[in-house]
Structure formats: structure tokens, C-alpha cells
A and B are shown apart, each in its own frame.
Chain A
Amino acid sequence: MFKKSISTLIVFLLAISYVYADKVKVGMITTLSGGGSGLGIDIRDGFALAVKDEPNIEIISGDDQRKPDIAVQLADKMIQSDKVDIITGIVWSNLAMAVVPAVVNQGKFYLSPNAGPSLLAGKKCHKNYFNIAWQNDNLHEAAGGYASSAGFKNSFIIAPNYPAGKDALTGYKRYFKGSIENEVYTKLGQTDYAAEIAKIRASNADSVYFFLPGGMGIAFIKQFSQAQVDLPLVGPAFSFDQGILKAVGKAALGVKNTSQWSKDIENVENEKFVKDFRSAYGRLPSLYASQGYDTGKIIVSAMANASIKNTDAFREALKNAPSQGFKSTRGKFSFSSNHHPIQDIYVREVIEENGTLTNKLISPGLKDHSNVYVDQCKM
């Protein structure tokens, strides 16, 4: 009798310790208010959807308001008082640059669901830093490749005057075989492009490539269309996402854009994600939502193969997740040696479907695409 109670007690304690030992605390730092909050909300919602059946994940959310100093404060608080194991969620490269090095140097994991600045892929890469979305240059490289294959010979390219803007145009030029008619850097946050559009109209370009995230892109596409400049427009997926298309309207119809994800990529995981996301939140998912979802699923997969208590094992489990049960909504997915995705990047076209503007895959773009910073990364 006594023996039996002891063994019951031991089993019970084991059960408890099993439940508690593997509990993973995730700090979600993302933009939930003010400008750009649509992106953060999508990442948060996608992540929450991915982990909703995993009782051992606890999410602690914080709103960075798109401000680096607030993001740094949140990270400090989450590491020191909430004792999180993993931090994720940041949308913007400048915020990621402020937060990520401190997080990984304190022995915590950082999984990026969006920003992929070149420094974190190259010289400042770290074994505890994983990017689940893309390296910043990737979508622009695919756009350059697409523009060449579409037969464009002379592009007018435009981006905001800040590091990610320069990376974007560098990425485009890396894969574009034609010549560059003009390269224009605009003020970050600029919303009137009359002067630039007049320059485009007066130029000899046969195509326009632009990287203008958020409201800047909405303004540019509307004004470009209103000005009736008869040139094909190419951009990265950021300016043609579900939330943005609603605001741009028919002006975006027919524009080609490059993305690692699209809601019509055919695989079981993606179909389930799109369906679940719609029924959970009543809207179509964006690529940000898909990135948040994949980030959540990678953590779930790693938890099944290693305990968070064993940092080295957990890192291996993250790294090997693509071959150990994690299935990306994008289909093929693996990590390069600097912990960034190797994946296909597609060309999409904006179409109208049952009265809603959305994207349709039209060609494969770049296959098994990695990034150029692999060699600079010494882990």
C-alpha cells in the first residue's frame, strides 16, 4: 500500500515536472499600435494560430510602437523579469538591429518572423539567431531576375533613403541584367511622389521597380496609376499584401510582385493555414501572417525533439526542424549555414477574385534561393 502510494507520487511528480520542464516562454515584441501595426498584428495572429494547440507555450506580448528604444526596453523586461526563452515578432530591420544582438548574447534564442538585415546574416550572425522569413535582399533579387526574364532593358528604380532601401535596390541590381535609367532615393515616410512620377514620365525607362513599404507604397501606386504613366510596375510583395491591396484598390491590378509565400501555393500545410486563419480572424492572411505562423510551427517542432533547458540540443532541433516534422506553408524550406531560409521565391500578379483584390502565382522566380552573406558569417 505504502509502496504503491510512493510510486503514484513519483509518477505524479514526474508528470508535473514533464509538463513544467518543457514549458517554453516566448516573448512576442511587435508593432501593435500606430503606423505599421497591421504588420505586427498579422505576425502575432499567425503565430498564435500556429501554437494554439500546444499547451506548453506561453506567449508574453509587448507593443514596440515601431520604436527601437521601446523594443529594447521590452526585450530587457522579458528576459530579466519574465524569464522568456525565445524572443520573436519584430517587424522592422532597425528595431531588429537594436534588439537581436543583446538577446542572443544573453543566451536566448531570437527567431525573426520578418526583418532580415544583411548584417545579421553576415558579419554579425549568431548561432542563436534564426530567420524564418527571408534575408532582406531576397525578394528584390527575385524581382530583378523577373524583370530580366520579362525582357525589360532599362529600369527606373526607387526606394526610401535608409539602409533597407539601399539593400533593396542593390538586391534588384544584383539580378537585373538590363541597365538602370535612374536611381531615386526618397525621404523615409514621404507620401507625395508627384515629383518622382514626373521624372519617370520624362525618362526613357521601360519598367519601374519600387520598394516603398507601408503607406509610402500605397501612395506611390495610387499616384502612379492616377498619373496614367504607361510603364509596367514591379515591386516586392510588401506593397501588394492583403491589407495594402484593400487601401490601394484597382490601381494595383496586374502589377507583378515577388514573394516567398502566396495564399495559392498548393500544399496541405498552406491550405490548412489559409482556412484556419480565415475562420479564426475573418480576414485573408498576409505574408506576414504566414511568417508568424511558420515561426510558431518551427518552435512547436523543435519542442517535440528537444527540451528548451538544453540550449545546444534545442538549437539543433530548430536548425533541423525542416527535416524533423516542420512543414512550411511555403513548401520547400531549409536553413542555410547562417540560419536563413533557402526557399523558392515566386512571381505573383495582382488579380481580382470574387470582388476582392488578391495575388495569383504566375511563375516560379528563383529556385532554392539562399543569400549572398553566407560566406561572411562565422559562427
Chain B
Amino acid sequence: MSLQLFIEQLLNGIQFGFMLFLMSAGLTLIFGVMGLINLAHGSFFMIGAFSASFVAGLTGNFFLAILASLILPALIGIMVEFSVIRKLYERDHLDQVLATFALILIFSEATRYIFGAFPLFLDIPNLLQGNILLPGEIVYSKYRLIIIIIGLFIALGLYFLINRTLLGIQIKAGQNDRQMIRVLGINISRLYTIVFAMGAALAGLAGALIGAIQSVEVGMGEPVLILAFVVIVIGGIGSIKGALIGALLIGVLDTMARLFLPIFFELIMETSQALSLGSSLASMSAYVLMALVLIFRPTGLFGKK
């Protein structure tokens, strides 16, 4: 295997990681601040992709589409927070899981009702089609590079927001002691709504960015949601830094396992078995990592003790 291929795969892993980060950042904040297990987070991923596809079809402008993928999920997030989620904060986790699972079904069927059962079209703009030559003869997709850059900016933005703004201080305080900040006179329900909407917008953005290279269809959010949960368990629930590190770890591990495990098994067994076993184990790699982290650090890499 050439070094170029290896670096290209590493970049693929990092890109996958940043996509997971966009999903898990919202998920971990919502869990950390409100103590809410939100299974419907994957629906916002789907809503983002569908809004982008709809707006792109209407206007032909990809950048407006991306804007829509931030705004629409945020608005729907606010509506859902007002009408359903708010009633769940004081309930136990099982009730939250049930209610947000119901939301998944409602969102999926509503989307199917509006847009039909067939996948929608969303393509990347001409400007970002094709490849770019990176230093060292590495050919890499322009669009995927843009996803990495957007992910970096979002990570920096969140870091700034959490550590340098009043809202960030309130979020951190909320994570530490929900009762206390209520007593201090901070409008907790407004804070909750903002955090929820922010999480929904990030998930929507991830959905639109990924929708352009995958298929925009009902139920597209749930597989990503499962990995996002793995990420926040690894990173430590409530920690944005943990979500970033966890997402990159999973992204790179998953990609590298897919690349190397079949090759590795081919050294010790017959080809067809090696391919099948290698790809089966590769798809388990994220969960194996999660199990290991849970054994040695039950609260996750950056979780509170």
C-alpha cells in the first residue's frame, strides 16, 4: 500500500469523524445540560437533509440549501422542545426514550407523507466537484476537505461559545448543577430551548452536508445516531471536547479497520473467509472501542468522575 493511499484514508477517517462530531456535539450538550436522552436527534439530521434538498431544488443554490438545513431543524427543534421535550426533563430516562422514539416515527412518517417514499436528489455544487491535489501527490475530494474545514470551524466556534460567552458559562453551570442555576435566577427554560435548537441545527447541518454525497431518504438519521451515541459514551457525556476526540477516534478507527482488517486476515487464512471476517470485525470496531473505554474509564475519556 502506498503512503498516498494511507494518507487519503486517514483524511477520509477524519472527515467521517467531523461529521460524527456535528451529530454528537448537540447530543452530548442536550444530555449534559438537560439530562435528556434524545433519540429523535437523528430525525433532525434527516430534516436538515430534506430541507437542503428541497431548497436546492427550488433555488438551485447549494449555499441557501445549507442555510435552510441550519434554520429549519432549529425552528422545528424549538417547536418540539416547547410542545414535547419540556415535559420530559423531570421524567426518568425510560419515559424520555419512549417519547423521543415516538418522535422518530412521527417525523419519519410525516417526511414520507410530504416528500414521498423515494429518495430525494441533492448534489454538491460544481465549484466543489472533483479533487484537489494536496502536498505530497495526495489526491483528495474538494468537498470532503470542505467538510473537514467546516467541522474544524464549528469545533472552534463551540469552544469559544462554551468558554468565552455568557451563554457558555450558563451551559457549563447547567451541566454542573441544574438546581443551582435555577436558584440563581437564570431563565433556565430559555437556556434549554437554545441548547436544544442549537443541537438540532448542528444535526441538520450534518445531514445536509452528508446528504449531498449520500442519499436523502427517510430513516437516514438513525444509523448515524447510533454511532453518535457511541461517540458521546467514549468521549464522556456532556463534554464537547470528549465528543470531538471521540468522533475523530471512531472516524479514523472505522475507516482504518475497513482498510486493514481484511488485509490482515488474508495473511493468516483463506481469502474469502478473510474478506468476510475482516469486514464483519471492521463494522464492530467502534463498539469494541466503546467496550474497552467503558471497562477502563466508565465515565468516558473526558467525563465527570
Binding site for B on A (CB under 8 A): 32-35, 37-38, 41, 161, 166, 183-187, 189-192, 194-196, 198-199, 201-202, 214-215, 218-219, 222-223, 226-228, 243-244, 246-249, 251
Contact = CB atoms under 8 A, between A and B. Distances in A.
Nearest to B254: A195
A41 B258 CA distance: 35
Contacts of A223: 213-214
B81 interface: no
Contacts of B108: 33-34
B124 A183 contact: no
Contacts of B216: 247
Interface in B99-127: 108-109, 112, 116-121, 123-124
A173 to B, nearest CB: 11
Given A202-B2, A219-B215, A161 B279 contact: yes
A190 B144 CA distance: 17
Nearest to B11: A194
A195 B255 contact: yes
Given A35-B218, A187-B283, 19 more contacts: A34-B218, A38-B119, A185-B279, A192-B213, A194-B9, A194-B141, A194-B144, A196-B258, A214-B215, A215-B215, A215-B220, A218-B215, A218-B217, A222-B213, A244-B118, A246-B120, A247-B215, A248-B121, A249-B121
A174 to B, nearest CB: 15
19 contacts: A33-B108, A34-B112, A38-B118, A184-B262, A191-B215, A195-B12, A196-B258, A198-B8, A199-B259, A214-B217, A218-B214, A218-B215, A219-B213, A226-B130, A226-B141, A227-B131, A228-B131, A243-B117, A249-B121
B141 A247 contact: no
B79 interface: no
Nearest to A223: B213
Contacts of B187: none
A194 B15 contact: yes
B120 A227 contact: no
Contacts of B259: 195, 199
Contacts of A243: 117-119
Contacts of B258: 186, 195-196
Given A215-B217, A227-B141, A249 B5 contact: no
Nearest to B113: A33
Interface in B165-181: none
B280 interface: yes
B275 interface: yes
A161 B274 CA distance: 12
Contacts of B218: 34-35, 37
B135 interface: no
B61 interface: no
Nearest to B128: A226
Interface of B: 1-2, 4-5, 8-9, 12, 15-16, 108-109, 112, 116-121, 123-124, 129-131, 139, 141, 143-144, 210, 213-220, 223, 255, 258-259, 262, 271-272, 275-276, 279-280, 282-283
Nearest to B271: A183
A222 B214 contact: yes
Nearest to A185: B279
A192 B117 contact: no
A73 to B, nearest CB: 18
B217 A198 contact: no
Contact of A246 (B1, B112, B121, B220): B121
A247 B50 CA distance: 12
A90 to B, nearest CB: 17
A369 to B, nearest CB: 25
B225 to A, nearest CB: 13
A219 B279 CA distance: 19
Contacts of B141: 194, 226-227
Contacts of A186: 258, 279
Contacts of A226: 124, 129-130, 141, 143, 213
A187 B119 contact: no
Contacts of A218: 119, 214-215, 217
Contacts of B130: 226, 228
B13 to A, nearest CB: 8
Contacts of A214: 215, 217
A184 B274 CA distance: 11
